[in-house]
Chain A
Amino acid sequence: MDKRTDLTGAIATLRDGMTIGIGGWGPRRKPMALIREILRSDLKDLHLVCYGGPEVGMLCAAGKVSKVTYGFVSLDRIPLEPWFRKARETGSVSVNELDEGLLLLGLRAAAEGVSFAPTQVGLGTAVPENNPYMKTVVSPYDPQDILLAMPAIPLDVALIHVSRADHWGNTQTDGPDPYFDDLFARASERVIVSAEEVVERLDRTHSDQAYKSLFHRGMVKSVVPAPLGAHPTTSHGVYGWDMDHLKTYGATAGDAEAWAEYMAEYVAGGEEAYQAAVGGAGAVRSLPIPVF
């Protein structure tokens, strides 16, 4: 029952061609340490499913992505994710571009074990034309009630960053918004969590925060200790996003040599070297959570 492993052990369980759901929202609470471990691996031909942030662009830059299913891909203050934009404009990845709510509905259908979710969302727009696999259904109650049948989006694995976890796979996630991490977990065969902090037993040390559990441990396959593992995205309660670093990364977009330099400077050496390269744990922990 001890689900603890390290980044290498967790990512070694992935295979080429897998459909990988990624929790978080834009540059918020992304499992970036797990993503960097994928960047260090030989994995390829991945299908990403997400409300995307820098993980999408980085994996595209490294040539690991064949397809992206997304509600959006954005760095928020940098509205257009630079490397994803290049990948789209050069046609190097195929996409399912969905309405944000359609992605929710597809994950929910997979989570509930049904093959589609009926909705009016997407009708009257280019979404069905740009996703030609989509079909419509007629309500059995009213023939003029024609709906889009949003297909389920089952995931092979979900990667989710949490605030703390224990060795059994119980988790707690701080922050004002759970996003759709519960749906990514439920739509998935199995979940790999990275955690700012891993304790022996949450029931002994953090019992009063049990309501912060977004999904139960029965879905969680691996628990990876990853302090600062969401950097350069936000990990609520610990640090805000690092817009300067996101700009540094974004400036490599479209330039293979610059990307190779980024990989060498920040990724290749492992997480300890990464933390040193971005200024150390103290600097990361002092990044403010942005206010709007």
Chain B
Amino acid sequence: MSDTPEFTLAELMIVAAAEAFRGDGELFTTGIGTLPRLAAGLAKLTFEPGLMMTDGEAFLTEDPVPLGAQAEDVPGFAGWMPFNRVFATLWRGQRHAMVTPVQIDQWAQSNISCLGDFKQPKVQMLGVRGFPGNSICHRNSMLIPAHSKRVFVAGEVDVVSSVGYSDKRWPEGMRRPDIQVGPIITDLCVMDFGGPDHAARVVSLHPGVSFDMVQEATGFALLAGDGMGETPAPTAAQLEIIRQLDPHDMRAKAVKGNPPGLRQAA
């Protein structure tokens, strides 16, 4: 495959994560963090031009803002999206966020609040922030740069910040909302909760990764998805767009050690 350009694992993950937004049409898209933001920008500039996204502050931009842009490089504003309108939009369900929780469990519940006992945390983190409202109202995908049992935990996450498919937290007699959990892109694979009864399954493995390696790094049982193959390599055109969106190569710091996309055999 001599015409395949070289690429990093971070770039492979960006291209895989962009696929999470396929079919979103005019959803308001929020990629939180370097790789999710680049993924959303790549999706908008290739196959989902209708995506709405902001400058990270209060305005909608039709051209994604490059990471680390100077004030004079910020594209023109197409609309106004102050936080009040963000809530109004997400409560309509008209949003898709890609987030990086600290813990995820077998029921797709996630945690960003704190580690340990909520009353006196071992480690205070972000608080639940917008996760409860986001997860019950709209689609959420996740990106995890270091796949491990500390993230994909055995048992339930310490503080359930986003809703999932567990039965135990809903009021009795309540009609369940339709919960939309998108794919999870990690440094090892792409997975989702699309198995029987929302079981976690591996959708594709990154080059050089085996299913057993993923299972070994996960605190709950995984299924191998039907047709589980290899995560597609970025094309030269995709890599060029990523470079334009990230001229200072901030993606190089997003995955520890910035490894190449094609893993060397261990």
Q: Which residues of A contact B (CB under 8 A)?
A: 25, 70-74, 79-80, 84-85, 88-91, 97-102, 104, 120-127, 129-130, 136, 143-146, 176-180, 288-289, 291-292
Q: Which residues of chain B are within 8 angstroms of A177 by Cβ–Cβ distance?
A: 57-58, 82-83
Q: Is B163 an interface residue (CB 8 A)?
A: yes
Q: Is the CB of B82 within 8 A of A291?
A: no
Q: Which residues of chain A are within 8 angstroms of B92 by Cβ–Cβ distance?
A: none
Q: Which residues of B contact A (CB under 8 A)?
A: 55-59, 65, 69-71, 74, 80, 82-84, 87, 90-91, 109, 113-114, 118-133, 135-137, 159-164, 166, 169-171, 173-175, 177
How far apart are B133's CB and chain A's nearest CB, in angstroms?
A: 4
A70 — nearest CB in chain B belongs to which residue? B127
Number of A-B contacts (CB under 8 A): 140
Q: Is the CB of A72 within 8 A of B129?
A: yes
B68 — nearest CB in chain A belongs to which residue? A291
Q: Which residues of chain A are within 8 angstroms of B90 by Cβ–Cβ distance?
A: 101
State the CA gap A177–B85 with chains docked (Å). Answer: 10
A145 — nearest CB in chain B belongs to which residue? B175
For chain B, what secondary structure do more than half of its interface residues adopt (helix, strand, loop), or is it mixed?
Answer: loop
Q: Which residues of chain A are within 8 angstroms of B59 by Cβ–Cβ distance?
A: 176
Q: Which residues of chain A are within 8 angstroms of B80 by Cβ–Cβ distance?
A: 176
Q: Which residues of chain B are within 8 angstroms of A102 by Cβ–Cβ distance?
A: 132-133
The verdict on A104 contacting B113 (CB below 8 Å), with A97-B127, A99-B130 known, is no
B168 — nearest CB in chain A belongs to which residue? A124
State the CA gap A100–B131 with chains docked (Å). Answer: 9
How far apart are B154's CB and chain A's nearest CB, in angstroms?
A: 18
The verdict on A126 contacting B119 (CB below 8 Å), with A89-B124, A101-B130, A102-B133 known, is no
State the CA gap A100–B134 with chains docked (Å). Answer: 10
How far apart are A53's CB and chain B's nearest CB, in angstroms?
A: 13
Q: Is the CB of B132 within 8 A of A121?
A: yes
Q: Is the CB of B118 within 8 A of A130?
A: yes
Q: Which residues of chain B are within 8 angstroms of A127 by Cβ–Cβ distance?
A: 128, 132
How far apart are B21's CB and chain A's nearest CB, in angstroms?
A: 19
Q: Which residues of chain B are within 8 angstroms of A74 by Cβ–Cβ distance?
A: 126
Q: Is the CB of A80 within 8 A of B126?
A: yes
Q: Is the CB of B84 within 8 A of A123?
A: no
Q: Is the CB of A88 within 8 A of B163?
A: no
State the CA gap A288–B121 with chains docked (Å). Answer: 36
A28 — nearest CB in chain B belongs to which residue? B57
How far apart are B134's CB and chain A's nearest CB, in angstroms?
A: 8
State the CA gap A125–B71 with chains docked (Å). Answer: 39
Residue contacts A-B, CB under 8 angstroms, 28 given: A70-B127, A74-B126, A80-B126, A98-B128, A100-B87, A100-B129, A101-B90, A101-B130, A123-B136, A123-B171, A125-B128, A125-B162, A125-B163, A125-B169, A126-B113, A126-B160, A126-B161, A126-B169, A129-B169, A136-B171, A146-B173, A176-B59, A176-B82, A177-B58, A177-B83, A291-B55, A291-B65, A292-B69
Q: Which residues of chain B are within 8 angstroms of A25 by Cβ–Cβ distance?
A: 83
Task: Contacts A121-B132, A292-B56 known; list 20 others, CB within 8 Å.
Answer: A71-B129, A80-B126, A88-B114, A97-B118, A104-B84, A121-B133, A123-B132, A123-B136, A124-B164, A125-B132, A125-B162, A125-B163, A126-B113, A126-B169, A127-B132, A144-B175, A176-B58, A178-B82, A180-B84, A288-B71
